[in-house]
């Protein structure tokens, strides 16, 4: 049977409308400055935001299509819907170790005599610092777990079926014409 060009194109369109890339694609991005990613309609994506240092507590700002979605504490997991996502560090909270000098007194009794010693000693203490200027970058792990080949699947399917149908009709005409010639 002679298959026509329209049949092969129609079949291709039908195949494309059914296909998708299902093999997960992982990407890691290190974010210190605001980072944006555009998610198309054909993609299904999720993301994880992670702090870089175990002593650090980070809050990140999530903006979607220009609107502030949320300020979230990391680690944070979210589904990235289609549109433009912007990730930035909102604030960073981490303890710092400071030292201070204190006066210490030691009293000692010996043989009825009281000895009083005064000295200075260095004492460490911790303070919690909150800053909007990130010291440590955060990690954005993006997983694209599915990408459809076509956005307009229905149109492709209709077009594919139409082309197949037209080719079958043309095939029938050709068959009738050839038989008529004989």
Partner 1 sequence: MMRSRSFQIFRVIFKERYRQPTLELVIPTMLVSNIFITAFYARGLFNTYGLVLAFIPLISVSETLAFALALRNIIFVTGDHIYRGSIISFIMMPIKRISLFFFTYFCDIVLPYLFWLFTTELYILLSGIPVPQYLILVYTVGYFFTENIILLTALSFKSGGIVTLLSGTILGILFIFGGIAGYYGIMTNSPLTPIATISNPYVFLIYEAISQKQVTYLNVGIYSEVIISLILFFVSLQKFRIMEV
Asked whether position 42 contacts partner 1 by CB under 8 A, the answer is yes
Among 72, 139, 149, 170, binds partner 1 (CB under 8 A): 149
Cα 158 versus chain centre, distance:
34
Least distance from partner 1 to the Cβ atom of residue 165, Å: 17
Give me the least distance between CB of 149 and partner 1, in Å please.
6
Among residues 58 and 144, whose Cβ is nearest to partner 1? 144
- Binding part of the chain for partner 1, among 9-17, 49-57, 119-127, 128-136 by CB under 8 A, reads 9-17
* Choices 23-31, 92-100, 101-109, 125-133 (CB under 8 A): range interacting with partner 1: 23-31
Minimum CB separation of residue 144 from partner 1 in Å reads 5
Segment interacting with partner 1 (CB under 8 A) among 34-42, 54-62, 68-76, 103-111: 34-42
Given candidates 25, 71, 161, 162, which one binds partner 1 under the rule CB under 8 A? 25
3-state SS of the chain? CCCCHHHHHHHHHHHHHHCEECCCEEEEEEECCCEEEEECCCEEEEEEEECCCCCCEEEEEEEECCEEEEEEECCEEEEECCEEEEEEEEEEEEEEEEEEEEEEEEEEEECCEEEEEEEEEEEEEEEEEEECCCCCCEEEEEEEEEEECCCCHHHHHHHHHHHHHHHHHHHHHHHHHHHHHC
Which of 98, 104, 129, 155 binds partner 1 (CB under 8 A)? It is: 155
């Amino acid at each position: 049977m002679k298959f026509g060009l329209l049949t092969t194109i129609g079949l291709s369109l039908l195949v494309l409308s059914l296909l998708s890339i299902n093999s997960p694609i992982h990407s890691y991005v290190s974010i210190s400055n605001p980072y944006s990613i555009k998610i198309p309609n054909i993609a299904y994506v999720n993301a994880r935001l992670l702090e870089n240092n175990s002593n650090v507590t980070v809050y990140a700002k999530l903006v979607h299509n220009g609107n502030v979605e949320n300020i979230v504490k990391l680690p944070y997991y979210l589904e990235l819907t289609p549109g433009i996502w912007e990730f930035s560090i909102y604030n960073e909270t981490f303890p710092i170790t400071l030292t201070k000098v204190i006066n210490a007194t030691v009293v000692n009794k010996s043989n009825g005599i009281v000895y009083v010693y005064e000295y200075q000693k260095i004492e460490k203490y911790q303070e919690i610092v909150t800053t909007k200027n990130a010291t440590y970058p955060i990690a954005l792990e993006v997983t694209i777990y599915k990408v459809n080949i076509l956005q307009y699947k229905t149109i492709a399917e209709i077009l594919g079926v139409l082309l197949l149908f037209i080719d079958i009709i043309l095939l029938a005409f050709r068959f009738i014409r050839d038989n008529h010639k004989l």
